[in-house]
Amino acid sequence: MKPWRVAFFEQNSAANGNIEDDIKDFVVNAFHKAQRDALWKNSGTRLDTWHVSDFVSPCLRKSHYSKIPELKTAMNDEMAAILFQGVIVHDNVILGSINELTMCYDIEKRENIDPSTVKAMEKDDPRKKDILTGTLDDLLRIGDEYVIADKKTYNARGYVKKEASPEHILQVNIYKLMLKYSYGIEANYGCNLYLDKGDGYKELPMVYKTAPIEETQKFLETTLKSFKDGIPDPTITFLCNGKNKDKKIYCNFLEQCEKDGREKFV
Ligand code: SF4
């Protein structure tokens, strides 16, 4: 039985004697269980390699910590709710006939590798330390051009976004490289479709020309090296600077990061 199910069944059996409270607890717990089931189902294509999200994270040290099993913590309800919104959108907003395309790329060897080959590798296969996995949302053919489209949910709160976020552009550029190596297709354009959660998923498309593949290749190689060299330097961003209305910290590794000298970089 999946670990969170065990916890939920334990919770459900602990009725407190008030039927109305029991009903509320039951439906809320059942909803949280359904959320986690949906997230679990969607993580099915995650292979035990580097993931594109590790390379585009605002803080590489955070990506480094996320690979250390002892530092992993259970997902809280708030994070599950955020990820669940993304799952709903990705499951239901299919923009073209080629979507959710998973690709793998060996950064050191500069060659593609079939995801099924990676899946068949032993858990501790050292080759996995050089392999990057990514899943492209939608590949479109518009006019004579191939376009990589990537959907992003966000909360605009009245702010009008002027351009795509650098990390989202970088993500599309990495998909461009992987697509070229996997299928020989060169996508000269990228498009982030921003969907405002606070306004009925109001759409805002941001289109841009993608970067040359060699540029992205160098970025991947340099970043992989910094992962392999030990603990990358921390980058203090919105994830852990507490500069938000509720002074929230969005990184689960703050304690470890402080032990590893975070204050020298503040
Ligand atoms: S606490 Fe901040 S600097 Fe440290 S790993 Fe997390 S995000 Fe990076």
Flag whether 53 is in a domain. Answer: no
ipTM over 0.95: yes
pLDDT number for residue 76: 81
pLDDT digits 0-9 by tens, 140-153:
999 999 999 999 99
CA of 41 to the centre of ligand 1 (A): 28
Whether 72 is covered by a domain: the verdict is yes
Distance (angstroms) between ligand 1 centre and the Cα of 43 equals 24
The pLDDT-based confidence of 45 (bands split at 50, 70, 90) is low
Is there an atom of ligand 1 within 6 Å of 176 CB? no
Instruction: Please report whether residue 83 resides in a domain.
Output: no
Instruction: Give the mean pLDDT of 10-39.
Output: 81
194: pLDDT strictly greater than 70:
yes
Domain annotation covers residue 85: no
Cβ of 251 below 6 Å from ligand 1: yes
Clarify whether residues 130 and 216 are in a common domain: yes
pLDDT > 90? residue 119: yes
Q: What is the mean pLDDT of the chain?
A: 90
Give me the residues paired with residue 191 across strands: 149, 207
DSSP code string of the chain:
--HHHHHHHHHHH---S-HHHHHHHHHHHHHHHHHHHHHHHHGGG--SSEEHHHHHSS-HHHHHHHT-GGG--PPPHHHHHHHHHHHHHHHH---SSEEEEEEEEETTTTEEE-HHHHHHS-TT-GGGGGEEEEEEEEEEEETTEEEEEEEEEE--TT----S--HHHHHHHHHHHHHHHHHH-----EEEEEEEEGGGTTEEEEEEEEPPPHHHHHHHHHHHHHHHHTSSPPP--STTTS--STT-----TTHHHHHHTTGGGG-
Q: Is any ligand 1 atom within 6 A of the Cβ of residue 64? A: no
**219 or 15: whose pLDDT is higher?**
219
68 and 143 fall within a common domain: no
- Candidate of 56, 57, 62 to mutate for ligand 1, largest count of ligand atoms within 8 Å of Cβ: 62
Q: Lowest-confidence range among 4-13, 51-60, 115-124?
A: 4-13
100 and 212 in a common domain: yes
Examine residue 86 and state whether it is found in any structural domain, yes or no. Answer: no
Q: What is the pLDDT of residue 214?
A: 98
Whether 22 is in a domain gets the answer: yes
Question: Is 203 within the bounds of a domain?
Answer: yes
- In a shared domain, residues 176 and 116: yes
| Ligand 1 touching residue 59 (CB < 6 A) | yes
Domain extent at residue 265: 59-78+233-266
Query: Is the predicted pLDDT of residue 1 greater than 70, yes or no?
Result: no
The answer to whether residue 11 scores a pLDDT higher than 80 is no
Answer yes or no: is 49 within a domain.
no
pLDDT of 28 higher than 80: yes
Residues 142-191 have pLDDT tens digits of 999 999 999 999 989 888 899 999 999 999 999 999 999 999 999 999 99
Same domain, 29 and 125: no
pLDDT at 51 > cutoff 70: yes
- The reply to whether ligand 1 has any atom less than 6 angstroms from the CB of 60 is no
pLDDT at 4: 57
Tell me phi and psi for residue 142, to 5 degrees: -125, 115
**Cα gap 110→120, rounded to integer Å:** 20
- Same structural domain, 191 and 163: yes
CA of 257 to the centre of ligand 1 (A): 6
Judge if the beta carbon of residue 177 lies within 6 A of ligand 1.
Answer: no
* Domain match, 224 and 103 both: yes
What's the pLDDT at 13? 55
Instruction: Give residue 248's pLDDT.
Output: 87
Rounded-to-integer distance, Cα 186 and Cα 175, Å: 10
**208 and 238 assigned to the same domain:** no
- Name the band, by pLDDT with cuts 50, 70 and 90, for residue 8: low
| Smallest CA separation from ligand 1 atom 1, residue | 254
Same domain flag for 30 and 122: no
Same domain, 197 and 256: no
Q: What is the pLDDT of residues 71-111, one digit of tens each?
A: 988 778 888 888 888 888 888 889 998 999 999 999 999 99
Q: Is 132 in the pocket of ligand 1 (CB under 6 A)?
A: no
* Higher pLDDT pick, 74 / 218: 218
Q: Are residues 216 and 106 in the same domain?
A: yes
Q: How many domains in the chain?
A: 3
Same domain, 221 and 248: no
